[in-house]
Structure 1
Amino acid sequence: MVKNKPNPDDRSDNVENIQSIIVHTIENMREAEAAIEHSNSKDAAEIEAKNERRREALDALRSEVKEEAQASQNGYTE
């Protein structure tokens, strides 16, 4: 009988990955804002709503970066 051993959770690059997501999200927001100029009022409202959700996501991602950085400094690797 073969026992499968789960792979350890490698969190060493989490901060970098989250920061990359933040950068891409900000880029998407800027592109969406530029698209508003060429959009009708309905589409512009949808873009604004989506960017608001992106802002909320950015807040959560920034918080997660802080938590991951702190965990890394404290030596937690789970």
Structure 2
Amino acid sequence: MTFNKSYPDDRSDNVEKLQEKIQNTLENISEAEASMAFSNEVEQQRILEKNQKREESIQSMRIEAKEEAAARKNGYK
């Protein structure tokens, strides 16, 4: 029988993790756009749709990063 050990909530590096995720997602968008030159119309449409979802994710991550930075500033109250 396995029990999950509970760990305290450590939010100390959440802003940095979110910034890294944003940067990685921006790089994925750039790489996907570059691959469009070698893709057919169907693949290009999929890339465009996926990049749109990536953009939406970036916006959400930016909001979350701002909230985390504010929480850090306020001592995570």
TM-score (norm 1): 0.90
Letter in 2 for 1:49: E
Separation of aligned partners in 2, 1:41 and 1:17: 35
What does 1:27-38 align with in structure 2 at a 5 Å threshold?
A: 27-38=27-38
- Counterpart in 1 of 2:6? 6
Mark the runs of 5 or more structure 1 residues left unpaired by the alignment.
Answer: none
Q: How many residues align?
A: 74
Q: Which has the higher relative contact order, 1 or 2, with Cα contacts under 8 A spaced 6 or more apart?
A: 1
Mark the runs of 5 or more structure 2 residues left unpaired by the alignment.
Answer: none
Separation of aligned partners in 1, 2:35 and 2:5: 49
Q: Identity of aligned pairs, percent? A: 50
Structure with higher Rg: it is: 1
Q: Structure 1 residues 7, 51: CA separation in 2 closer, same or farther (over 3 Å shift)?
A: same
Letter in 2 for 1:46: R
TM-score (norm 2): 0.91
- Counterpart in 2 of 1:64? 64
